[in-house]
Amino acid sequence: MKNYIGSKIIKAELSNLKQYKFKKYGENAKIEGGDENIKCYIVVYPPIGKDEKPYISMSPVEVFEKAYRQIEDCEISLIMSE
């Protein structure tokens, strides 16, 4: 396999597995007893196509914090300018 690196701007919030399941699956979420104690980031990826909806995922805290850093306000204006 070949190696790849990519980048994207995502939205994320520190939460727990129970809240992630509610956000992703709504009333159909299957909640387990310990879900509230499992910390994670809820991650929202932007839609890819014009008719697509944002994709909701989760990432364990340790994995997320190794891969991402928060964008500062001054960086957002540089990134979003055309």
Domain containing 37: what range? 11-80
Residue 4 belongs to a domain: no
Number of domains in the chain: 1
Does the pLDDT value for residue 82 go beyond 70?
no
The pLDDT of residue 62: 97
Distances (CA, A) of 50 to 46, 54, 55, 75: 10, 10, 13, 25
pTM of the model: 0.80
Does the pLDDT value for residue 80 go beyond 80?
no
